[in-house]
Structures are given as C-alpha cells and as structure tokens.
C-alpha cells in the first residue's frame, strides 16, 4: 500500500479567538482535505499549538500557492510555522558507539520502509558497525573522539552532517557528550535517548544509580539535546518493571528494549512534525 502525498502544517502562536477558523478557512477555500488535525491551548502561557495533515493533491491551488496563502494568516496571528511535504524524505544522520540495539532497530525500520527516511550516513567513534551499515548501502564514517581532539572531532562530524544536508541527528546510544558548539548550532535537530527515566538518574551510569536506589521500574527518555546535560525537552518516555533479583547487567539488558522502543517512537513523532517545543517542554500530538 502506498501512502498518498501529504502536507503537514504545524505552528504555534499566541492564543486568541478565531485561529482555528482562520486556518480551516484557508484550507477549505482551496478544498484541502484534512486527514488529521490536532491542537492544544496552553493555559499558563496562553499559547496555541496546532498540526494539520492534508492530502496534497486535494489542494486546488497547488502546494506553493498554499504556502503563500498561509503565510498571510501566519503573519497576522504571529505564528511560528512550517509546512512539510511527505514527498521530500527527511535526511537523518545516526550517531552510534558500540551498543547495537538502537542501530539494529532503526536500520530494520528503515529497511522495511516503516521509517520512510533517508539515512545519508552513519557516524561512529568506533569501527564496530562499519560492516553492518555498509552492507545496508549506507556510508559509514568513523570519527574517533578523545579528550584531546573533542572540539575538532565534533567539527568534523558537523562537516559530515552538513555535507549531506542533514536535517535530524539521532544519538542512537552515542556515548559522547556533544560540545556546546554543536548543541547550539543544531538546536532542535538533535535527538538523544537517555537510559533513565529522567529527571531521575541524570548523568553517567544511570542503571547503576537505579540499582543502588532499589527502584521497582526503570525507564528511558527520548529528548532534544540542549547545552545542559540531560535537560533537553522530553519527547517520549517509558518504563519496565524490575525487582530485587535483577542485577545491574539485567537492568542494562531490560533497558535496551525500552531505549530502542522509546527512541523509535520519539523519532517518528519528530519526523512527522508531531512535536512542538514549548519552552522546556514539548507538545506531542498523537
């Protein structure tokens, strides 16, 4: 089954009467067929968020004209907005280290077209997965990172990312902390999977911390990377039950299953423009 071409409009703006009416009028005027529409009014900050998915071919005016029409009301309402076109696959660069689970999981989803993206390259600080990645026909770059070369190494990665016009950078259990320079430069484009249920167990060795604390559930958190470690906006989380008989190694093993599931869900939401950042939090439309 092929999915028809879709346009996804997403925006936020100060809340006021008439936003939905204005947006739906501009769509209806061009006979736009709405597949999904979600919105959220945030009481505290009085900000309004909306996402509309339309059949591209239903628009009588064509896509470019629609963008122009929409730009007018976007200005009127002070919107922070974008329109994505499903016919243009997003370019997602994966960063990995030596752990396999998120990489295998994402490659499997890409191979089966469940994730309908381009992976222009995979970057790693180790050679471990060169063969697997290249077997999939995806270029693999090894950029070792040491305490001494960290700034240069990340600049090299940025160069590789820019060279393929990367749009999303996924830290698929990449075990190096990004430099502030990179965090700032690719703000809102870098997605990490952290191996704890944040805000518990920030930083290194969260499974050891969870084990020492004796928690009865462990979790994982998919979040945007910001300059403050493990403090970026949370996109998705999940947990799994553990008990006293589970050693740290068991927690690591259970955690891998949660990590890959949470990363895949969070990444998919981001790719479908379902995630709108709102200060230190996110709106994630189902």
Annotated active-site positions, please?
230
Shortest spacing between CB 148 and a copy of itself, in angstroms: 29
Residues 6+ apart with CB under 8 A from 160: 93, 121, 123, 141, 143
134-162: buried (b, 16+ CB within 10 Å) or exposed (e) per residue?
eeeebebbebebeeeeeeebbbbbbebbe
Cis peptide before 179 (omega within 30 of 0): no
Contact present, 76 and 21 (Cβ < 8 Å)? no
Binding-site size for a copy of itself (CB under 8 A) equals: 75
List 92, 170, 172, 283, residue binding a copy of itself (CB under 8 A): 283
Shortest spacing between CB 158 and a copy of itself, in angstroms: 28
Residues recorded for the chain? 286
- Scanning residues 131 to 150, which ones bind a copy of itself (CB under 8 A)? 131-132, 135
List 8, 12, 97, 99, residue binding a copy of itself (CB under 8 A): 99
Residues 6+ apart with CB under 8 A from 67: 83
List 2, 64, 147, 245, residue binding a copy of itself (CB under 8 A): 245
Shortest spacing between CB 96 and a copy of itself, in angstroms: 12
Contact present, 171 and 192 (Cβ < 8 Å)? yes
List 105, 118, 167, 272, residue binding a copy of itself (CB under 8 A): 105
The two tokens of residue 236 are 């998705």
- Scanning residues 23 to 62, which ones bind a copy of itself (CB under 8 A)? 24-25, 27-28, 31-43, 58
Q: Does 17 bind a copy of itself (CB under 8 A)?
A: yes
Q: Does 250 bind a copy of itself (CB under 8 A)?
A: no
- Scanning residues 157 to 216, which ones bind a copy of itself (CB under 8 A)? 197-201, 212-216
Shortest spacing between CB 39 and a copy of itself, in angstroms: 6
The two tokens of residue 122 are 């995979």
């Amino acid at each position: 089954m092929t999915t028809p071409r879709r346009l996804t409009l997403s925006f936020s703006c100060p809340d006021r009467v008439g936003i939905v009416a204005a947006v739906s009028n501009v769509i209806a005027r061009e006979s736009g067929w709405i597949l999904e529409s979600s919105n959220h009014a945030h009481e505290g900050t009085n900000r309004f968020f909306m996402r509309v998915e339309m059949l591209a071919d239903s628009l009588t005016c064509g896509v470019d004209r629609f963008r122009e029409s929409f730009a007018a009301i976007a200005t009127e309402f002070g919107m922070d907005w974008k329109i994505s076109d499903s016919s243009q696959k997003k370019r997602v660069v994966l960063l990995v280290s030596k752990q396999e689970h998120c990489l295998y999981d994402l490659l499997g989803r890409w191979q089966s077209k469940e994730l309908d993206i381009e992976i222009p390259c995979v970057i790693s600080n180790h050679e471990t997965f060169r063969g697997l990645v290249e077997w999939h026909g995806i270029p693999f770059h090894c950029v070792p990172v040491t305490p001494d070369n960290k700034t240069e190494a990340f600049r090299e990665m940025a160069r590789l990312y820019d060279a393929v016009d990367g749009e999303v950078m996924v830290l698929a259990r990449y075990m190096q902390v990004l430099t502030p320079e990179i965090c700032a430069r690719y703000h809102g484009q870098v997605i990490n999977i952290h191996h704890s249920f944040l805000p518990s167990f920030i930083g290194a060795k969260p499974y050891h911390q969870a084990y020492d604390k004796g928690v009865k559930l462990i979790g994982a958190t998919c979040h945007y990377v910001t300059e403050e470690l493990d403090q970026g906006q949370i996109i998705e989380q999940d947990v799994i039950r553990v008990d006293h008989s589970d050693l740290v190694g068991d927690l690591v093993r259970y955690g891998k299953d949660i990590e890959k599931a949470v990363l895949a869900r969070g990444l998919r939401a981001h790719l479908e423009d379902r995630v709108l950042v709102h200060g230190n939090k996110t709106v994630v439309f189902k």
